[in-house]
Amino acid sequence: MSSLKQQLLRRHRRQKHLVLLATLLLLAPVGIFVDWWLVPLVLFVGWIAHEAWFADHLFYSPRDDYQYAFPADTVAQNVSLADGVLRLSAPLAAGETLILAVELRSTRLGHFLDPHVWIGDDRQDFERGVRGRRFLNLSGQAVAVGMGELAIEGRFCRLPAMATLYTFDNPDYAERRIMVLAPHADDAELAAFGLYSRASEAVIVTLTQGEVEAANYQRLGLAAAPAAQLKGRLRTWDSLAIPLWGGVPQSRCVQLGYYCLQLPAMLAEPELPVGSRESGEQDVRSARRHNPLRLPADSDGLPCGRNLLADLVALIEHFRPEVIVTPHPELDPHPDHFATSLAIDQAVQRAFWKPEIALLYANHLLDNDRWPMGPAGDGIALPPALAPLPADGLWSPHLSAEHQLDKAMALAMQHDLQRPLSLKHRLRRTIQQLLAGRRWPATGENDFFRKAVRRHELFWVRRFDS
């Protein structure tokens, strides 16, 4: 988690505590001079309301416009949204990724029930109380769009009469040689299982063991360091074994074995070894025993930035990927995710083999923990972008129901996504289901089963020479 997000969470909790204190001070006279039982009743009702409607970590106003700029050669046209149907003003340009920019306005009910737009048989959700520019994903529905038959309707929100349709034309990158960079085990599956399971030549490189936050394993009678070591071993195994479910053999999976949350420090001082925060380990070779090739850091096992960059250069030159899939450095705030993309940029500059395309993904956001919003199985609208981003293209391949189920099962195999929900989160989900109409999938309890298993995957397209 980035330091900025930690600051936002601390401020959010501090504001809630201040509201609670103010409420208690206001209710104190009621308990003294009227009926004492009104105080706990009001507090209980307030807690229910908070869990139902105010518990989301949303660190911006729903009235803020999303700010996206696209490449200058992106085809755009005005469209009308009359009578519940999207109608073009010109023939639809060739391209498989379709993005519709609209001005959404929440209805009154949309402050309590999630506003969403039905696009044919797809549903895409937005913030309660939304009032601003948003971007719908129409990818996979080009035939209905071109024929003027795509139904579109807002629920708990109003659509404008006119909107702008952007068309992005990309090759099918699954037909290229791809290398997926995963800062931790599960990042490759969350972002790109649909892509890599279709690819004929895919390589998955996981940079860290993911050993931190291992308190759940202390229930087995382990002290903190052995618990972290066990978690690191399990997630290392996940990173090598689970891709086989998507057709990628272990001979094309590499685990670098560096330590979780330490990648930024390694890159900041490339010669300084940076060991694990929790497991006490200082040698990455224990996680590399099943790798299919020898890498530079295998000589000394030092967890340092120099070795990380040398490993990445060796992997690029060995597998010669045309496309590298890596976290979005401007959208994904996780420090290991940002450092992964920074490291691959530096490695590409040093390698003699030059990949052409970076496909960027965002598994975490700084300002909205629920994105993609709405139920599993629906489409992925563009995430909040409240500051201007680089003008990247977009590629949003469509996942069939069969691919979505396979992706959910790949996530179910991840040890880090198997932890049971706390009582607090179970109560919150029950309240939100009853009062806010939210629902969660049967495939798993972790929220990534809702967020990541969708009819789309979403990538920003950036050339390495740009």
Q: Does one domain contain both 214 and 299?
A: yes
Q: Does one domain contain both 190 and 159?
A: no
Distance CA 401, CA 378 (A): 10
Q: Does one domain contain both 148 and 296?
A: no
Distance CA 56, CA 125 (A): 14
Taking the CA atoms of 332, 336, 342 and 348 in sequence, report the sign of the dihedral they define. Answer: negative
Q: Does one domain contain both 113 and 224?
A: no
Helices 335-350 and 305-319: angle between axes, nearest 10 degrees: 60
For the chain, helix (H) and strand (E) counts, in that order, are 11, 16
**Size of the chain in residues:** 466
Distance CA 41, CA 439 (A): 27
Domain presence at residue 65: no
Give me the pLDDT at residue 223, please: 97
Q: Does one domain contain both 100 and 237?
A: no
Domain count, the chain: 3
DSSP 339-370: HHHHHHHHHHHH-SS---EEEEE-S--SSBTT
Which residues span the domain enclosing 131? 75-168
Domain presence at residue 59: no
- Domain of residue 219, CATH code: 3.40.50.10320
Integer CA distances (angstroms), 422 to 200, 445, 446, in order:
40, 10, 11
Say if CB 384 and CB 368 are below 8 A apart. Answer: yes
Order of strands, edge to edge, in the sheet holding 393-395? 253-258, 201-208, 177-182, 323-327, 357-361, 459-463, 393-395
Domain presence at residue 451: yes
Domain presence at residue 377: yes
Q: Does one domain contain both 149 and 198?
A: no
Domain presence at residue 130: yes
Q: Does one domain contain both 355 and 307?
A: yes
Q: Does one domain contain both 242 and 196?
A: yes
Q: Which helix (H) or strand (E) holds 164?
A: strand 162-168
Q: Does one domain contain both 282 and 410?
A: yes
Tokens in use for 70? 């696209």
Q: Does one domain contain both 141 and 272?
A: no
Query: What are the respective helix, strand and coil percentages of the chain, to the nearest 5?
Result: 40, 20, 40
Domain presence at residue 64: no
Say if CB 444 and CB 408 are below 8 A apart. Answer: yes
Question: Among 133, 151, 168, where does a domain finish?
Answer: 168
Question: Is residue 250 packed enough to be buried (19+ CB in 10 Å), middle (13-18) or exposed (0-12)?
Answer: middle
Distance CA 240, CA 250 (A): 6
Domain presence at residue 70: no
Q: Does one domain contain both 164 and 261?
A: no
Tokens in use for 317? 């030159």
Distance CA 170, CA 97 (A): 8
Ranges of the chain whose pLDDT falls below 70: 1-39, 466
Give me the pLDDT at residue 346, please: 97
Q: What torsion, rounded to 10 degrees, do the Cα atoms 291, 295, 297, 299 define?
A: 100
Q: Does one domain contain both 106 and 121?
A: yes
- Collapse the DSSP code of 461 into the 3-class scheme (helix H, G, I; strand E, B; otherwise coil) and give the result: strand
Distance CA 118, CA 378 (A): 10
Backbone φ, ψ for residue 381 (5° rounding): -70, 160
Beta bridge partners of 395: 459
Give me the pLDDT at residue 43, please: 75
Say if CB 408 and CB 242 are below 8 A apart. Answer: no
Distance CA 311, CA 85 (A): 52
Give me the pLDDT at residue 55, please: 87
Distance CA 285, CA 294 (A): 11
Domain presence at residue 233: yes
Give me the pLDDT at residue 42, please: 72
